[in-house]
Amino acid sequence: MSDETALLIADVLEAAGALRRLGEQTAAAEGFTQARWQLLSAVSEDPLTAPQAARRLGVSRQNVQRVANDLVSLRLATYEANPDHRGSPLLAPTPSGSKALARVTARATDLNRTLFAAVPAEEIRATRASLRRLLTELDRHEGAEGKR
């Protein structure tokens, strides 16, 4: 691995950590945890089962189930009947959950606008394109590894 590659990996991990910390602060300002925010966001367009949400978020089903139960107990989400699988209900936001999600998302949008104001749009697009290519290669590698 070249020095530049190792430094890129270190930079990506550092940025991910900083964005995670910022996300926690943003979520906390609206009374959320980042996990609750992410899960509520994941089910905001279409209700999902815990396993579906876990796959989408790249986390364990057990973790999603715990957070889903928290959202339901806070009345920010509800379980709905799943016509495809009786034992695996769908998680969907309640109206108050949708309002809370909108508040934290607006806060994050304002913060991101401020955060990225100093970075030209062209650089953001180029960086994103590079990261998407890297993610495609990572997906291909994980698929190949899983077949061995």
Summarised one tens digit per residue, pLDDT across range 28-52 is 998 899 999 999 999 999 999 999 9
- Mean pLDDT, rounded, for 129-141: 92
* Residue 147 located in a structural domain: no
- pLDDT classification of 145: cutoffs 50, 70, 90: low
Q: What is the CATH number of the domain that holds 97?
A: 1.10.10.10
Domain that holds residue 16: 3-117
Pick from 97, 88, 118: nearest CA to 42:
97
Q: What dihedral do alpha carbons 5, 142, 48, 59 form, nearest 10°?
A: -60
Q: What is the per-residue pLDDT for 148?
A: 43
Number of domains in the chain: 1
Summarised one tens digit per residue, pLDDT across range 84-124 is 888 899 999 999 999 999 999 999 999 999 999 999 999 99
Residue pair 47/62 in contact by the 8 Å Cβ criterion: no
Of the chain, the percentage scoring pLDDT greater than 70 comes to 96
* Residue 43 located in a structural domain: yes
* Residue 145 located in a structural domain: no
Angle at Cα 139 formed by Cα 13 and Cα 54, nearest 5°?
75
* Residue 111 located in a structural domain: yes
Of the chain, the percentage scoring pLDDT greater than 90 comes to 83
* Residue 131 located in a structural domain: no
* Residue 79 located in a structural domain: yes
* Residue 139 located in a structural domain: no
* Residue 105 located in a structural domain: yes
